[in-house]
Amino acid sequence: MDNNKLKKTLIDVGRDILIAFTIVVIVMLVLWAYCGIWPPMVVVESGSMQHSEDRSFVGVIDTGDMVFVKTVDSKDDVVTYVDGEATNYAHYGAFGDVVIYRPNGDEGRVPIIHRAVIWLELNDSAVSDDFNGIDYANYTFDIPSLGKYNTTDNIVLENYGHEEEWVNISLRSLITYYDLMNKEPHGGFITMGDNNAPYYDQPLNGSYEPVLPEWIVGKAVGEIPWFGLIKLKVTGTDLTEAPRNSWTNLFVTLFLILLIPFLFDYFAPKVSKKMEERKKSKSSTEKSEIPKEGAAPEDKHDDGSEAGISDASPAENTPLGQTDNRQNKSE
């Protein structure tokens, strides 16, 4: 390869890399502007949101999916399962929003991605100001979505989720948890993985509290299925919970992505050539139909015969009572 050809090749490769890099930067900036958080996506490491143990589905959060995350400004930005069921609002295969939150607001803990089930508001109207310590016995909860107030009764959700489980949320156990941990009670979101029903997160093994809005990193707003498996594989994450068809779907998708440029390079010149030939053919046809300059268009009679030319013989065209001059001369 001569120097000029090598130089041209390097310039073309550098240009392609620059274009690809620019596109990636633009896409990431758009995602950042829309999501309001960096990085604007997370990789799902567990199967707690899966709807099947051995199959992944587009539109459902499975192990190895990359999920886009959008910030939330308040609790009103999150639709719970109960509210979603009432308004027919569904996301990722079930009612309500899926949130990414840090357990107990701990920045050092790995965020959890689970569905917001219901919102609890702490009711301290019966708490005695004269009580020495924390008056746990008089704390209750309000559940506006269900029209329940000042209660510690169990919340029962029938036919919950894709497996139609019965979920029994014990409000009294939350008060007991705060008592055991000697912590001031508070309300928040009850959350649960779709694949964990009927076992909700709060309190899970005596460690998770109802999720306050400020603990929420964001809510899930979209996904790129399977591609997070690459990151999990490189980092040595346990992939036993990843559905079996996720790897197959990933390899097929990668093959198609790599195949598209080759197909484009193969078919694009052929298509371009065909279009050019069609364009030339059309141009030639149009030119052939244009009359030559100075040539008068041929006039035709209604019967299709040309003007000035008769099908009759000379004799038939001679008026009665006259003789043909040519005939007389010959005689």
For residues 79 and 197, membership in a common domain is answered with yes
- pLDDT score for 292: 56
- Which amino acid, residue 21? F
Q: What is the pLDDT of residues 311-328, one digit of tens each?
A: 444 444 444 444 444 444
In sequence order, which ranges of the chain are alpha helices (DSSP H)?
Answer: 3-35, 81-87, 171-181, 228-234, 244-288, 314-317, 325-330
AA identity, residue 273:
K
Q: Tell whether 234 is covered by a domain.
A: yes
Q: How far apart are CA 230 and CA 65, in angstroms?
A: 10
The answer to whether the beta carbons of residues 215 and 207 sit under 8 Å apart is: no
For residue 20, the model assigns a pLDDT of 74
pLDDT at 241: 85
SS3 assignment, position 250: helix
Cβ contact 62:225 at 8 Å? yes
23 and 167 together in one domain: no
31 and 135 co-located in one domain: no
pTM comes to: 0.74
Q: Are 190 and 202 in contact (CB under 8 A)?
A: yes
User: How much of the chain, in percent, has pLDDT values that exceed 70?
Assistant: 83
324, amino acid identity: D
Residues 223, 227, 229, 232: what is their CA dihedral angle, to the nearest 10 degrees? Answer: -80
Q: Quick check: is 325 in a domain?
A: no
Same domain, 71 and 120: yes
The candidate with the shortest Cα–Cα distance to 161, out of 79, 94, 78, 91, is 94
Q: Note whether 13 and 66 are same-domain residues.
A: no
Asked, for residue 277, whether it belongs to a domain, the answer is: no
253 is a domain residue: no
Same domain, 127 and 60: yes
Provide the mean pLDDT of the chain.
83
Task: Give the pLDDT of residue 304.
Answer: 46
Domain annotation covers residue 101: yes
* Same domain membership, residue 190 and residue 97: yes
Q: Does residue 27 share a domain with residue 129?
A: no
Q: How confident is the model at residue 171 (pLDDT cuts 50, 70, 90)?
A: very high
Between 143 and 27, the higher pLDDT residue: 143
From 242, 276, 304, the end of a domain falls on 242
List, for residues 18-45, the tens digit of each pLDDT value: 877 787 778 777 766 766 677 788 999 9
pLDDT beyond 80 at 91:
yes
* Rounded Cα–Cα distance for residues 13 and 9 (Å): 6
| One domain for residues 148 and 24 | no
Amino acid 74 reads S
Q: Could you say which of 180, 211, 242 is where a domain stops?
A: 242
pLDDT computed for residue 35 by the predictor = 67
Q: Are residues 66 and 187 in the same domain?
A: yes
Look up the domain containing 55 and give its range. 40-242
In this structure, the answer to whether residues 71 and 108 fall within a common structural domain is: yes
Q: Is residue 310 part of a domain?
A: no
Q: Are 245 and 55 in contact (CB under 8 A)?
A: yes
CA atoms of 319 and 69, how far apart (whole Å)? 101
Number of domains present in the structure of the chain: 2
On whether both 63 and 142 belong to a single domain, the answer is yes
Contacting residues for 145 by C-beta, under 8 A, at least 6 apart: 80, 82, 83, 86, 118, 119
Residue 215: pLDDT over 80:
yes
